[in-house]
Amino acid sequence: MSKVRERTRSPEGDLPAPTPDAKQWVVYTQKREGAPFKWAGTVEAVDTELALQYAREHYGLDEACVGLITYEHGDSVDGEYSIGPLVPQKADGTDGDEWLVFTLAKRGGNHQTAGTVNAPDAATAINRGTAAFADGKACNIRVVLASDVHETTDEEMVIWRTHDMTYKLAKGYSKQVRSKWTRIRDNPAYEQYQKEDIETHF
């Protein structure tokens, strides 16, 4: 064995506290004020603050959005996944905690926020959510305790709202290319170039 490998090091003082294990957080984005929050994906983070930060940096830059919400993956409870639209049922009541209700329009799609209900437990929240929001356009109801859902503030989102990220999208890329071409060519010349380019390559 080499002398380098034979050397051992002993730490001085107490070892630092271990880093907490990361948890999975589900992220929903809001495209415009007043619109529902739609499922965007997940991030791995050790706490709420980092989860929101990672969500802003990842999903806030990937697409234009004005707000984000997140919750730990294990905090959501899903109802039955129906092949067809759920049948609205009668389930009245306002007792219990507040639950945020998500609906799924079709299997294979993404959940989005629909509203809130009050219920003493998840099963009751699903029943009341189905009664309130299964209007023949949802095949699944998901509920999360409102207290477990965390949302970005206006101050936290301002940088992502004002930063132009359209160049990342196909329509934005086309807009950027057009603006560059029209600096040296007029619009009719660019239109002719685009037409010839499409005919040549497609």
- In sequence order, the β-bridge partners of residue 102 are 113, 142
What would the mean pLDDT of 173-190 be, rounded to a whole number?
66
Give the global pTM.
0.72
In a shared domain, residues 83 and 178: no
Dihedral of alpha carbons 182, 161, 117, 48, sign = positive
- Note the helical H segments in 16-163: 48-62, 122-133, 154-162
For residues 119 and 125, the answer to whether their CB atoms sit within 8 Å is yes
In a shared domain, residues 114 and 177: no
In a shared domain, residues 180 and 116: no
Residue 12 domain-assigned (yes or no): no
For residues 29 and 67, the answer to whether their CB atoms sit within 8 Å is yes
CA 65 to chain centre: 10
Residue 34 domain-assigned (yes or no): yes
Q: Tokens standing for 8? A: 């051992």
Nearest-10 crossing angle of helices 154-162, 48-62: 20
In a shared domain, residues 91 and 172: no
For 25-78, the pLDDT digits (tens) are: 999 999 888 999 999 999 999 999 999 999 988 887 666 788 999 999 999 999
Average pLDDT, the chain: 83
Q: What pLDDT is recorded for position 189?
A: 72
One-letter amino acid at 91 equals A
> What is the total count of domains within the chain?
2
In a shared domain, residues 112 and 140: yes
Helix (H) or strand (E) holding 199: helix 187-201
In a shared domain, residues 73 and 111: yes
Q: What pLDDT is recorded for position 158?
A: 59
One-letter amino acid at 154 equals D
The whole domain housing 86 covers: 23-162
Residue 4 domain-assigned (yes or no): no
Nearest-10 crossing angle of helices 170-184, 187-201: 130
One-letter amino acid at 145 equals L
For 93-149, the pLDDT digits (tens) are: 889 999 999 999 988 899 999 999 999 999 999 999 999 998 888 999 999 999 999
Residue 10 domain-assigned (yes or no): no
In a shared domain, residues 42 and 112: yes
In a shared domain, residues 61 and 94: yes
Q: Show Cβ contacts of residue 83 under 8 Å, excluding neighbours closer than 6 positions.
A: 107, 139
Residue 18 domain-assigned (yes or no): no
Query: Which has the closest alpha carbon to 27: 4, 2, 60?
Result: 60
In a shared domain, residues 97 and 189: no
In a shared domain, residues 123 and 170: no
Q: What pLDDT is recorded for position 75?
A: 97
In a shared domain, residues 95 and 172: no
Residue 8 domain-assigned (yes or no): no
In a shared domain, residues 143 and 186: no
What is the distance between the alpha carbons of residues 172 and 76, in angstroms, rounded to a whole number? 35
Residue 199 domain-assigned (yes or no): no
- Backbone φ, ψ for residue 59 (5° rounding): -80, -30
Residue 59 domain-assigned (yes or no): yes
Q: Length of the chain in residues, anyone? A: 202
DSSP state of 38: E
